[in-house]
Structure 1
Amino acid sequence: MPVSSGVRERIRGFLDPDDDIQYVFPADILGSTTPSVFFVVTRKTITVLTTGYWSRKTPKRVVATTLRGHRIGPVRTETTPWFKFCGVDYEIDDEYVSVVHAADAEIMRDAAKPEDPLPDL
C-alpha cells in the first residue's frame, strides 16, 4: 500500500523545509525486532526515519542521512526483496521494489551525462 499523505506530512517535519519528497517507502531491518523505518528520497538527501513499535505510520527520529548521490539498491529478489544500505540489510514489500529502482535510475541517469565541454560559455 502506498504511503499516505498523512504519513508524508509527518515525515516533512523531519526534513529541510525547502526540500521536496520525491520517493518514500517503508522497510524493515532484516532479522531485527526493532521498529520499521521509512526511506525518504528528496532532491538533496536520502533520509532513514525510524517508526514506533506500535505504529508503522508514525516517524519518530532520523537514524541516517546521506547525500542524494548514493544508490539505495540493488534490490535482491531471490526471496523476500532486500537491499543493503549504509551497511544495514533492509527488507521491503514487493510493491516497493519499483520505487527503489526508480530512485536509483535517476542517479544512474544523472551520472551518465557527459561533462560540459565548454563550461565557461
Structure 2
Amino acid sequence: MPVSGAVRARCRALLPPGEDIRYVLPALSADSPGTAIFLIVITDRSIFVLSTRFFDRDMPTSVHATHARRTRLGPVEFAAGSAIELGGMVFEIDEEYAAVVRAADAEVFAPETLPPDPLPDL
C-alpha cells in the first residue's frame, strides 16, 4: 500500500529544498544493535534513509543516511522475506514494495524499460 500524502509531507520536511520525492517505502532494519524502522525516500537526486519513531513508522524524525541517486537498491532478495541492501545495511520490506525498488532502479539504470507517463501534465 502506498504511503499517504501526510507521510510524504513529513518526509519532505526533512529533505533539502528542491528534492522531488519519487518513491517512499517503509523498511525494517534488523541489524545490530537492534530492530529499527525507517522510511527510504527516493528523490530525483538522492536516496535518503529516514529514522522514524519506534512505535510510529509514519513519523520520520531525522535523516539517518544519504546516498547518491545512482545507488542501486535491488535486487530484492526473497530468501526469508523481501530484503534489500543499502549502504551496508539490510532492510526488510513488504513484498508489495519490490515493484517500487525495481521502478526506482529502472529510472536510473534502464529508463527505456519504463512505460510512458499516462498523466504527464499532473
Which amino acid counterpart does residue 73 of structure 1 have in structure 2? G
Aligned to 1:109: 110
Aligned to 2:44: 43
Deviation at 1:74, TM superposition (A): 1.1
Structure with the higher strand share, 1 or 2: 2
Deviation at 1:78, TM superposition (A): 2.6
Aligned to 1:23: 23
Q: TM-score, normalised by structure 1?
A: 0.85
The secondary structure found in structure 1 opposite 2:14 is coil
The separation in 1 between residues aligned to 2:91 and 2:55, in whole angstroms, is: 19
The structure with the larger Rg is: 1
The separation in 2 between residues aligned to 1:92 and 1:57, in whole angstroms, is: 15
Which amino acid counterpart does residue 36 of structure 2 have in structure 1? P
Aligned to 2:3: 3
Q: How many residues are aligned here?
A: 110
2:30 touches 2:36 (CA, 8 Å); kept in 1? Answer: no
Deviation at 1:106, TM superposition (A): 1.2
2:31 touches 2:89 (CA, 8 Å); kept in 1? Answer: no
Structure 1, 48-57 or 101-110: larger mean CA deviation: 101-110
The secondary structure found in structure 2 opposite 1:57 is strand
The separation in 1 between residues aligned to 2:12 and 2:44, in whole angstroms, is: 13
Structure 1, 74-83 or 42-51: larger mean CA deviation: 74-83
Q: Percent identity?
A: 43
Q: TM-score, normalised by structure 2?
A: 0.84
Structure 2 residues not aligned, in runs of 5+: 112-122
1:34 touches 1:53 (CA, 8 Å); kept in 2? Answer: no
Aligned to 1:116: none
The secondary structure found in structure 1 opposite 2:107 is helix
Aligned to 2:94: 93
